[in-house]
Amino acid sequence: MARLNPVFVCTSCGGESLKWQGQCPACGEWNSLEERRASGIRAAPAAAAVSLAPGAVLGGGGERLPSGQAELDRVLRGGIVPGSVILLGGDPGIGKSTLLLQVAAHVAATRPVIYASGEESVAQVGLRAQRLSVAAAGLGVVSETDCQAVLTLVAARQAALLVIDSIQTLQSGSVAAGAGAVTQLRECTAELVRFAKSGGAAIVIVGHVTKEGAIAGPKLLEHLVDTVLYFETEAGSRYRIVRATKNRFGAVNELGFFAMTGTGLKEVKNPAAIFLARAPQPAAGSIVTVTREGGRPLLIELQALVDRMRFGAPRRIAQGLDANRLAMLLAVINRHAGVALQEHDVFVNVVGGIQITETATDLPVVIALASSLKNVALPAQLVAFGELGLTGEVRPVPYGDERLREAQVQGFRVALVPRDNAPRKPPAGLTVHAVSTVAEALAAAFTRAPGGASAE
């Protein structure tokens, strides 16, 4: 059993090979393989298993730490789990440091917290804290890039929370590569995870997403951590959305909404209509839908533009929606509603920078496409939602009643919905048109005064 095979590890990509080679077989880098003795092969003492019998005392756990931001706690499903590791990704400048300084200061009111900033000096973090009017004696700020040094400090202070801003600036002495290299990102994150799991502290790691680094950055670390959060926004918007893409402690279908203000990020308590800032005159190609992205009904404006193709192959561009889904919808309306766009460039945009993953936008997208093609504006007080099938049928979506209620609360008067979503008794003041096929839906959307004849 006591074999001690040498293993050669690439300092640039972390790939392993059993013999030394001049070029790493994984990433093609030259002279990057270093010998490392595989340590785990020796006969190790047996690990102790813990029985999960009902009522067994499992230790760990403990109270979740409220972050002080209800929207963030909502995404985390009830606050920060002690000993857990959270990765917060997002574009540079989106507000990661701002949010985490606010959270660190809040937690520091009751428990010791360390904010390790490799990007900014202590003075800069201090100035920001003043600007945000957050000050807490229990919050220790350190400008340090050495992973071990940070963890030693956290252990000495017995901190309950550690913020690493950012993982791209952290370095571990056990790896030769420079900060930000793939092996450094992996090794530092692994060290942080080991520390957290041995009862150290909850750790929040900031990871920048760069244009080319979407893969080389936070994505590489997702499997190591417990929870992965991403910041989303649209250029120029003050709203910020926090989405969980992974959470070992709860479901991931909630979104948290924030607004960037002069004094930091403020949570948006009722986000239903924050993305609705439409032109006073209805424009062709624009429609409002009620989505349930993120566990709450949200009114969102969808915009479509179809334009005669200039040259080559027609373009299909989808912002905030799945481009493959758009291609499918184009085929469905071509075949089942006689709307032919093979000779057109097609652009679809979700206003507000939110990514929509549910299928309830199918019906409003095709109505917006038809509206742009005909150059006929839809009534401003119309909302639509519903899924489309390949045979042109309009399928029901979950939470139909809730969507209709929110549309009514926000002042919409007409709703175009799948037949199976039509309520027996619509909310007062809302006329509901139930449709079964895409052809029916387009006919209903473009008949004059669709408030007149209710289908139900």
SS3 303: strand
Query: Which residue, judged by CB position, is nearest to Mg ion in the bound state?
Result: 97
- Binder of residue 372, out of Mg ion, ligand TYD, none (CB less than 5 to 8 A by kind): none
Is there binding between residue 435 and ligand TYD (CB under 6 A)? no
Is there binding between residue 90 and ligand TYD (CB under 6 A)? yes
β-strands 16-17, 6-10 pairing = antiparallel
**Environment class of 155 (CB within 10 Å of its CB; exposed 0-12, middle 13-18, buried 19+):** middle
Of the pair 203, 332, the CB lying nearest ligand TYD is at 203
Is there binding between residue 158 and ligand TYD (CB under 6 A)? no
Is there binding between residue 97 and ligand TYD (CB under 6 A)? yes
SS3 201: coil
Of the pair 242, 332, the CB lying nearest ligand TYD is at 242
Q: Is the peptide bond before 133 cis (omega within 30 degrees of 0)?
A: no
Of the pair 185, 383, the CB lying nearest Mg ion is at 185
Is there binding between residue 348 and ligand TYD (CB under 6 A)? no
Binding to ligand TYD in span 98-137, by CB under 6 A:
98, 128, 131-132
Q: Are 142 and 162 in contact (CB under 8 A)?
A: no
Helices 323-337, 438-445: inter-axial angle, 10-degree rounding:
80
Of the pair 93, 126, the CB lying nearest ligand TYD is at 93
- Min dist CB 119 to ligand TYD, Å, is 8
Is there binding between residue 96 and ligand TYD (CB under 6 A)? yes
Q: Which whole-number Å values give the CA distances from 443 to 185, 371, 392, in the listed order?
A: 55, 11, 14
Q: Which of 45, 262, 338, 452 binds ligand TYD (CB under 6 A)?
A: 262
- Binder of residue 262, out of ligand TYD, Mg ion, none (CB less than 5 to 8 A by kind): ligand TYD
- Min dist CB 61 to Mg ion, Å, is 31
Q: Which whole-number Å values give the CA distances from 272 to 264, 269, 439, in the listed order?
A: 22, 9, 30
Separation CA 154–CA 162 (nearest Å) = 7
Is there binding between residue 92 and ligand TYD (CB under 6 A)? yes
Separation CA 415–CA 434 (nearest Å) = 8
Using the rule CB under 6 A, give the single segment among 95-103, 354-362, 371-379, 417-425 that binds ligand TYD: 95-103
- Min dist CB 103 to Mg ion, Å, is 13
Locus of tokens 């939110």:
354
Using the rule CB under 6 A, give the single segment among 32-40, 259-267, 290-298, 447-455 that binds ligand TYD: 259-267
User: Which H helix or E strand runs over 149?
Assistant: helix 147-157
Cα atoms in the 13 Å half-sphere on the side-chain side of 417: 29
| DSSP-assigned letters across all residues of 382-440 | EEE--EE-TTSBEEP-TTHHHHHHHHHHTT--EEEEEGGG--SSPPTT-EEEEESBHHH
SS3 286: strand
Could you list the residues that contact Mg ion (CB under 5 A)?
97
Of the pair 97, 291, the CB lying nearest Mg ion is at 97
Of the pair 206, 302, the CB lying nearest ligand TYD is at 206
- Min dist CB 206 to ligand TYD, Å, is 7
What's the alpha-carbon Rg for the chain, to the nearest Å?
27
Neighbours of 265 (CB within 10 A): 26
Of the pair 12, 97, the CB lying nearest Mg ion is at 97
Of the pair 106, 344, the CB lying nearest ligand TYD is at 106
Q: Quick one: tokens of 127?
A: 């100035």
The residues binding ligand TYD (CB under 6 A) are 90, 92-98, 128, 131-132, 260, 262-264
